[in-house]
Amino acid sequence: MPQSHIEEHIDLITKHEQEFLAKRTKSERLGDNIAMFIGSFGFVGVHLSLFVVWIGWNVLPGPSHFDPSPFSLLGTIVAMEAIFLASFILMRQARLGRRAEERDHLVLQILILAEKEITAVLKMDRQIAQRVGAEKAANSAEVRELSQQTSIEEVAQTINENLDSLLETNG
C-alpha cells in the first residue's frame, strides 16, 4: 500500500533525526544521558535522600560526625557537582543549538525553493488567464508583483535596515 505524502514526510523527518542521533560520539551520548538524568525526578530524589542522610548522620547524636555543621565538605561537593552538571547541560544545549541551526538552514532552503516554484506557477497562471480572457485578473497589480522573482538578498537587507533603525530609535 503506498504511503501518503504526510507519512513520507514523517518518515523523512524521523530518518534525519535518527541519523543525527547516530552521528553522536560516545562522549556526546554519555553527556546526553547524564543531562537527561539530571533533568529527572530520580536525580532530585537521589540528591534529597543523600542530603537527608548526610545531614542526619552529622547532626544526630551517636555516630561519628565526619562533616559537622555548617557542612563545609557537603557544600564543597555540591559546588563541584554543580560545575560538572552545568558543563554537561551546556554541552548538550550547544549540540542541540547546532542541530536547530541545521534545521533552520534546511527550512530556509526549502522556503527559497518554494518561493521560486510558486513564482513560476504564478507566471504560468497569468499566461493561462490571459489566454482564456481573464486579463483583468492576470494583470492585477498584486498578481503581477507576486509573479516577479523575489530577491532574497534585498529582503534580508531591508530587514536588517529596518531592525537597525528600530534599534537606533529604541536604543
| Confidence at residue 79, expressed as pLDDT on a 0 to 100 scale | 97
CA-based nearest residue to 123, from 141, 149, 152? 149
| Residue ranges, the chain, pLDDT below 50 | none
CB 92 within 8 A of CB 35: yes
| Confidence at residue 137, expressed as pLDDT on a 0 to 100 scale | 81
Grid coordinates representing 8? 513520507
H/E/C letters for each residue in 32-98? HHHHHHHCCHHHHHHHHHHHHHHHHHHHCCCCCCCCCCCCHHHHHHHHHHHHHHHHHHHHHHHHHHH
pTM exceeding 0.75: no
- The helix/strand/coil state of 23 is coil
Residue whose entry in the numeric block shows the C-alpha cell 535596515: 161
